[in-house]
């Protein structure tokens, strides 16, 4: 693609965009009396205009049927979570019985760690990325302590090399090899939240398995953003949230994936609850847990239908847009953003910023992280005054994520004009 830094070019790109009508399906926040340039879909995705109706519909079911809605609502509440299987298995790349929508991301991570982190005297070490998202660090640390082990001795972190920002795959593989006799678990993000780098999930999983360890991924920044094949890559488990790229609303219901080789094994250790109990006999309410032989066997509680309705509203839009189209546009759109940033750097007397996201389109999603070499915080604050919502990560990174569902090429162009002016 030959990009151009002109208004005519972006108007043409937007009018040729097969997904151009999807922007209108979302509420775009207003700053200075006009639609802002919303580049924080990696933090909280925008609200679909249909969400209110989906929620209202379940409130009506509750009003009209009361408890009977569990069985008599159009989508019966007891099986409500089943409607997520099809759209989500396309988004994360897995089989229907490998997926379940439940709880929140960190809760699901804990549940999965309870199953997959079973340290023994010989094998107890965990390999993960240095500076992982804090919640993941705390989850790992507390799990290790629950087993009466020392986090410092147990959790091996792989960091970028000196002077680099991204962790090299070869360094992850070397670390796995080095600890292969004591290793029991490898846990990474699908995408590093800080730099936007995509980890090579297939290769990391293979190396973990060769070392006799389980391998899991936190897909918070990957689900709905990049191509994923959890099953084909042979990943053991994964979890994600639904409020970032999946636009399901603040703190909304999350998801989990468990490879099929584990789901029908009733002996897999887990924290159990009644909603994970065999569906046929759940309401007999007898002793001794008998799990559903799918990922649903990890459910604890009955489903929060009102939040799930918002998740459904958003996933229906994904179904209509199709992941393949979104990925195609995403590559063009973020490619354009990188082109614009390059132009700004080239025209400045002195380099004022550096992109720390990998440039290669297979190694990133839509997010670009910009390391500000001077006045970073001032530029970030001024962007907001000029109608651009981006986010700030200490000490000096501005993250911008043009999301293919609702961002346009014109958004990226206007952002470039504003940023150039501010710098
Ligand atoms: C956003 C994010 C979280 C947030 O966890 P919640 O339990 O949803 O609050 C956790 N881990 C990663 C990697 C994230 O990006």
Is 102 in the same domain as 124? yes
**Contact predicate 237/259, CB 8 Å:** yes
136 vs 220: CA distance, rounded Å:
11
Parallel, antiparallel, or unpaired: how do β-strands 30-31 and 34-35 relate?
antiparallel
The closest of 326, 406, 323, 325 to 88, measured between CA atoms, is 323
The pLDDT score that the predictor gives to residue 104 is 98
Is 186 in the same domain as 235? yes
Parallel, antiparallel, or unpaired: how do β-strands 254-258 and 353-355 relate?
unpaired
How many structural domains does the chain have?
Answer: 2
The closest of 336, 348, 331, 351 to 413, measured between CA atoms, is 336
281: confidence class by pLDDT, cuts 50, 70, 90: confident
Does any domain span residue 351? yes
Would the pLDDT of 286 be above 90?
no
The closest of 274, 258, 415, 410 to 344, measured between CA atoms, is 415
The gap from C-alpha 64 to its chain's centroid, in whole angstroms, comes to 36
Maximum CA pair distance of the chain?
Answer: 75
Would the pLDDT of 282 be above 80?
no
Is 195 in the same domain as 302? yes
Is 170 in the same domain as 192? yes
Is 347 in the same domain as 308? no
Residue 106 CB–ligand 1 contact under 6 Å = yes
Is 60 in the same domain as 147? yes
The average pLDDT across 119-147 equals: 97
- Distances, alpha carbon 231 to alpha carbons 74, 101, 115, 176, 205, in Å: 31, 17, 18, 21, 11
DSSP 55-98: HHHHHHHHHHHGGGHHHHSSS-GGGGGGGGHHHHHHHHT--GGG
Is 330 in the same domain as 231? no
CATH number at residue 256: 3.40.640.10
Residue bearing the bigger pLDDT, 72 or 228: 228
**Which pLDDT tens digit goes with each residue over 111-122?**
999 999 999 999
Is 376 in the same domain as 388? yes
260 vs 119: CA distance, rounded Å:
22
Residue 104 CB–ligand 1 contact under 6 Å = yes
Domain end (from 289, 319, 349): 319
Would the pLDDT of 350 be above 90?
no
The average pLDDT across 282-290 equals: 84
Is 218 in the same domain as 281? yes
- DSSP letter assigned to residue 354: E
**Residue 212 backbone zone (phi > 0: left; psi -120 to 50: alpha; other: beta):** left
Cα three-residue angle 145-148-151, rounded to 5 degrees: 45
The closest of 393, 390, 394 to 403, measured between CA atoms, is 390
Does any domain span residue 39? yes
Residue 302, domain extent:
55-319
The gap from C-alpha 215 to its chain's centroid, in whole angstroms, comes to 17
Does any domain span residue 1? no
Domain end (from 278, 296, 319): 319
Task: Give, for ligand 1, the residue of 133, 187, 196, 242 to mutate: max count of ligand atoms closer than 8 Å to Cβ.
Answer: 133
240 vs 412: CA distance, rounded Å:
27
Does any domain span residue 64? yes
Does any domain span residue 242? yes
The pLDDT score that the predictor gives to residue 422 is 92
Give the percent of the chain with pLDDT over 90. Answer: 94
φ, ψ dihedrals at 37, nearest 5°: -90, 105
DSSP H/E element including 108: helix 105-116
Residue 364 CB–ligand 1 contact under 6 Å = no
Residue 241 CB–ligand 1 contact under 6 Å = yes
- Distances, alpha carbon 178 to alpha carbons 1, 103, 155, 181, 350, in Å: 43, 36, 14, 8, 43
Does any domain span residue 2? no
| Token pair listed for 303 | 């489903």
CA of 323 to the centre of ligand 1 (A): 22
Would the pLDDT of 283 be above 80?
no
Does any domain span residue 220? yes
**Which pLDDT tens digit goes with each residue over 13-68?**
999 999 999 999 999 999 999 999 999 999 999 999 999 999 999 999 999 999 99
**Contact predicate 153/205, CB 8 Å:** no
328 vs 344: CA distance, rounded Å:
25
- DSSP letter assigned to residue 375: S
Does any domain span residue 328? yes
Ligand 1, residue 43: give the atom nearest the CA.
Answer: 1
Is 100 in the same domain as 229? yes
3-state helix, strand, coil in the chain (%, to 5): 45, 15, 40
Domain end (from 319, 349, 380): 319
CA of 139 to the centre of ligand 1 (A): 11
CA of 5 to the centre of ligand 1 (A): 35
CATH number at residue 35: 3.90.1150.10
Is 193 in the same domain as 246? yes
Is 124 in the same domain as 212? yes
């Amino acid at each position: 693609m030959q990009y151009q830094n002109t208004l005519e070019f972006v108007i043409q790109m937007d009018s040729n965009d097969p997904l151009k009508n999807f922007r209108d399906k979302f509420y775009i926040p207003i700053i200075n009396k006009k639609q802002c340039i919303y580049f924080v879909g990696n933090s909280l995705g925008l609200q679909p205009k249909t969400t209110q109706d989906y929620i209202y519909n379940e409130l009506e079911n509750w009003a009209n049927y009361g408890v009977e809605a569990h069985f008599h609502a159009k989508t019966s509440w007891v099986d409500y979570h089943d409607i997520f299987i099809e759209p989500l298995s396309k988004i994360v790349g897995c089989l229907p019985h490998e997926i379940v929508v439940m709880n929140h991301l960190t809760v699901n991570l804990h549940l999965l760690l309870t199953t997959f982190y079973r340290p023994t005297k010989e094998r107890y070490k965990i390999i993960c990325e240095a500076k992982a998202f804090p919640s993941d660090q705390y989850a790992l640390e507390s799990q290790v302590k629950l087993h009466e082990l020392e986090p410092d001795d147990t959790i091996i972190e792989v960091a970028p090399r000196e002077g680099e920002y991204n962790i090299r795959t070869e360094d992850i593989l070397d670390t796995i090899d080095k600890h292969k006799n004591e290793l029991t678990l490898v846990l990474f993000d699908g995408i590093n939240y800080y730099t936007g780098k995509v980890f090579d999930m297939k290769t990391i999983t293979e190396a973990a398995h060769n070392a006799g360890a389980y391998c899991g991924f936190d897909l918070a920044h990957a689900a709905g953003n990049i191509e994923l094949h959890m099953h084909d890559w042979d990943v053991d488990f994964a979890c994600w949230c639904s409020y970032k790229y999946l636009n399901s609303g603040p703190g909304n219901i999350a998801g989990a994936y468990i490879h099929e080789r584990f789901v029908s094994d009733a002996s897999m250790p887990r924290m159990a609850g009644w909603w994970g109990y065999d569906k046929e006999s759940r309401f007999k309410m007898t002793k001794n847990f008998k799990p559903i032989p799918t990922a649903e066997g990890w459910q604890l509680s009955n489903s929060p239908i009102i939040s799930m309705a918002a998740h459904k509203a958003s996933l229906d839009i994904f179904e209509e847009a199709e992941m393949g189209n979104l990925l195609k546009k995403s590559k063009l759109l973020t490619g354009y953003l990188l082109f614009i940033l390059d132009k700004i750097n080239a025209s400045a007397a002195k380099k004022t910023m550096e992109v720390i996201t990998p440039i290669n389109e297979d190694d990133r999603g839509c997010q670009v992280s910009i390391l500000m070499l001077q006045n970073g915080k001032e530029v970030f604050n001024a962007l907001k005054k000029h109608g651009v919502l981006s986010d700030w990560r200490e000490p000096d990174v501005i993250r911008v994520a043009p999301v293919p569902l609702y961002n346009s090429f014109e958004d990226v162009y206007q952002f470039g004009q504003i940023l150039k002016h501010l710098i």
